[in-house]
Structure 1
């Protein structure tokens, strides 16, 4: 196992994030082209969903690898819960 804290390879993560980057560029083009607002908002939501999937995957890997696996996270169970819930809270606070 790696010490990164996530099981997806860097290449897989970069591929996913490159797709998101392309989606964001597409949204910018849509605005330049004066596209229908609802279509732009739909694409913005798609980007959020894509980023949420990446973040949830990283969070899952962190919980399994760093916290449960003891690879770099806090060792105290209360601190582990606090760290995990803090990360979840930040993800939900938009």
Structure 2
């Protein structure tokens, strides 16, 4: 399944990933500076949420594409498609 996202969707996902990248860089700096554990964990949680949201946006786009039956035309039955999508969702859980 290829990533066929519209420009607006792609921009939103890239923005989320950049936000997470900045948060992770901030966490590294906080650890190097010996900052408070609670502050570090709070920032890690924010980065994790940003990554999750980006992942879910990618999966949602994949669902839309799969539901159009384009994958079925390539010889994949609905059960195989369902199993692949379930695996994708579980990878983010």
User: Would you say same fold, with TM above 0.5?
Assistant: yes
Unaligned runs of 5+ in 2: none
In proportion to residue count, which structure has more helix?
A: 2
Alignment RMSD, CA only?
Answer: 1.9
TM-score where L is the length of structure 2: 0.81
* 1:21-78 residue CA offsets vs partner (Å, 9 max, x unmatched): 111110011111111001101110111100000001111110111x112344763110
Unaligned runs of 5+ in 1: none
The total of aligned residue pairs comes to 88
> Are 1:5 and 1:71, in contact at CA under 8 Å, matched by a contact in 2?
no
* Equivalent residue number for residue 91 of structure 1: 92
TM-score where L is the length of structure 1: 0.81
